[in-house]
Amino acid sequence: MTQQDTVQYDSLLQNEKIKYPYDGKITFSGDEPSALFGVYKLEEKPKLYSDFLKGKISLISPVGGGFEDIIQPNKKYYYTFRSVDNHAMASNPSAIYEIEIVENSGAIYPIIKIVELYQEDNRTKNISIKDKFKIDINKEHILQKDAMNSALDVQFLNKFGSLQPSVFGKNFKIRITSKSTKKKIDINLTFTKQADLSLVKEQISSIKKKIQSASKKTKV
């Protein structure tokens, strides 16, 4: 949190290299009673622990000491704590606590929770093109234009689409250009006609039933 911490931690790291297999980490533990407790307070959510040096700092004696603070209702405050031993060695800061006293129509209650330090999100954000871009055919190209006598009509595929020229059997290219990077994406399209064979199967089945019914009547 402070420049003094940096100096002390560098010294501890040197000792760690001598005593233990070096992994670049410092093991914190208590081997004597604390001489002081530090209370750090901010009225805005910190981005770094060092931000607490800009706020209110209170020191508390472990013998008969206590801490009282004045805060406004319906406002969030942020606290962290650390201890200092007789050799002026400070502990790691505690977690960051967000504290708010809520006053709601005469009802007063606290909200206390641990919050994480701000971390910049460097992840690449992907936006689905499905939500921003859609390619569809004009419905007048697929509407039925002539009455079909039968689903077996050999001209079935020519009996829809009233717009001219027709889009079927032609190639199209759509180019998308990024405003920021100027990169381009080309989309090649071709529209084709395809009959729904289920209609043909239904009509064949219907014709067979009629033939079978007529055959039975003839035999009778």
Q: What are the tens digits of pLDDT across the range 143-201?
A: 665 544 444 454 555 556 667 787 888 888 888 888 888 888 898 988 877 666 666 66
pLDDT at 154: 46
Q: Residue 121: pLDDT band by 50, 70, 90 thresholds?
A: low
Residue 137 · residue 123 · CB < 8 Å = no
CA 49 – CA 41 distance, rounded (Å): 11
CA 219 – CA 62 distance, rounded (Å): 112
Q: What are the tens digits of pLDDT across the range 88-107?
A: 888 888 999 999 999 998 89
> By mean pLDDT, which of 19-23, 25-29, 39-43, 109-113 is the weakest?
19-23
Q: What percent of the chain has pLDDT over 90?
A: 20
In CATH, 30-115 is 3.30.450: no
- Give the residue among 42, 8, 58 at the shortest CA–CA distance from 28: 8
Residue 116 · residue 100 · CB < 8 Å = no
Start-end of CATH 2.60.40 domains in the chain: 30-115
